A and B are shown apart, each in its own frame.
Chain A
C-alpha cells in the first residue's frame, strides 16, 4: 500500500513540474505561431504542393522522408508479427473462427449492407486525401476494417497471408521508387515529381497516386495483422 502512495506522490511531483513548464505555452504559441501561419503557411502551402489539406502537404511533400519510413515501420512490424506467429505445422490458409450458430443473422445481414459502403468510403478518403480530411493512412485503415467485415459475410473465406505480405513488400519498393523520381525533375529526392512551376492541379496528380499506393499498402498491412491474430485465435 505504501508503494502505491509513493508512486502517486512521485507522479504528483511530475504533474507540478509540467504545470510550471506549461504556464506560458499557450500565450507563446498564439503570438509567435499565428503570424507565421498567416504569413508563411496559408498563402504558400497550396501553391507549393497542390494540396488544400496542409496535413497531406506535410506528409507527402515537405516531410515525405518521414512518412516513407513510417510506412517502413508498419511493414517491419507486420513482418515481425507474421514471424512470431509462425507455427511448427505449416498452415497455408487462415480461416476465420466463426460460429454460425451463435452470431445473429441480423449482424450478418447488416454486415452485407455496410460492407460496400465502407469500402467506397475508404476509397473516397484515400483518393480525396489532398482536398478533404483524410489520406492514405486513414483511408487504408477504413478499407482494412471493411475487409475484416468480409470475414463475417463469407465464413469459408481463406486468406493466404504470405501472398499479402509479399504484395505489400513490392508495393513499398514501388512507393520508394516513385518518391525518388523527383531526382530527375527537381534534383532532390522525396518531393513532388512535377517541377515547382507546374500549376497546383498538375501537382495534385502526384499526391493522388502516392495516396493510393500508401493507402493500399496500409490496408494490406493491417489485413495481414488481422489475419495473423485470427489464425492465432483458432
Chain B
C-alpha cells in the first residue's frame, strides 16, 4: 500500500505540472515529483525488521543501503537543478516583467 501512496504524490506533481500557469509553480511541481520518487525508493528499500544500514555488534537485519545511496544523488542534483531553474525564472521576470506562461507565449507570438 505504501508505494502506491508515494506514487499518488508523483501524480499530484504531474497534475500540477500540466495545469499550472505560473513558471515558479511549475518548478515547485518538479520538486514535488522528485520528493515522490525519493519516497518511493526509500519505501522499497525498507525491509521487514530492518534498521538503519550501519553494521556493528548485534545488527542482524538492515534496510537496503543501495536505494539510500542513490537518493543522496537525487537530492543533491535535484536541489541544484531547482536552483538553476529558479535563477532562470528571475531572468525571465527581468526580461518580460511576468512569470505567466500564457502571457510570455502571447508576447512571443505578437512579435
Q: Is B105 at the interface (CB under 8 A from chain A)?
A: no
Residue of B nearest to A12 (CB): B11
Interface set, chain B 12-66, CB cutoff 8 A to A:
14-15, 18-19, 44, 47-48, 52-56, 59-62, 64-66
Contact pick for A52, options B19, B56, B61, B86, CB 8 Å: B56
Residues of B within 8 A of A53 (CB): 53-54
Are A34 and B90 interface neighbours, CB within 8 A? Answer: no
Residues of B within 8 A of A57 (CB): 65
Contact with B along A136-155 (1 / 0, CB 8 A): 01100000000000000000
From A35-43, A115-123, A201-209, give the one contacting chain B: A35-43
Within the complex, what minimum Cβ distance (angstroms) separates B43 from chain A? 9
Within the complex, what minimum Cβ distance (angstroms) separates A218 from chain B? 7
Are A54 and B77 interface neighbours, CB within 8 A? Answer: no
Interface SS of chain A = helix
Residues of A within 8 A of B83 (CB): 77, 81, 225, 229
Instruction: Say yes or no: A73-B87 contact (C-beta < 8 A), given A25-B3, A33-B47.
Output: no
Within the complex, what minimum Cβ distance (angstroms) separates A40 from chain B? 12
Residues of B within 8 A of A78 (CB): 80
Instruction: Say yes or no: A73-B80 contact (C-beta < 8 A), given A58-B69, A232-B90.
Output: yes
Contact pick for B76, options A19, A74, A229, CB 8 Å: A74
Task: Give bound CA distance, A213 to B5, whole Å.
Answer: 38
Task: Give bound CA distance, A52 to B59, whole Å.
Answer: 11
Residue of A nearest to B74 (CB): A70
Residue from B18, B83, B90 whose CB has the most chain A CB atoms within 10 Å: B83
Q: Is A66 at the interface (CB under 8 A from chain B)?
A: yes
Instruction: Say yes or no: A14-B73 contact (C-beta < 8 A), given A22-B4, A46-B55, A133-B54.
Output: no
Within the complex, what minimum Cβ distance (angstroms) separates A6 from chain B? 10
Are A70 and B88 interface neighbours, CB within 8 A? Answer: no
Q: Is A8 at the interface (CB under 8 A from chain B)?
A: yes
Residues of B within 8 A of A135 (CB): 72
Q: Is B98 at the interface (CB under 8 A from chain A)?
A: no
Contact pick for A34, options B47, B73, B91, CB 8 Å: B47
Task: Give bound CA distance, A135 to B90, whole Å.
Answer: 33
Task: Give bound CA distance, A163 to B76, whole Å.
Answer: 22
Are B73 and A66 interface neighbours, CB within 8 A? Answer: yes
Residues of A within 8 A of B73 (CB): 66-67, 70
Interface residues, chain B, with chain A CB atoms under 8 Å away: 3-4, 7-8, 11, 14-15, 18-19, 44, 47-48, 52-56, 59-62, 64-66, 68-69, 72-73, 75-77, 80-81, 83-84, 86-88, 90-91
Among all A-B residue pairs, the 4 with the closest Cβ atoms: A77-B80, A54-B65, A58-B69, A54-B53
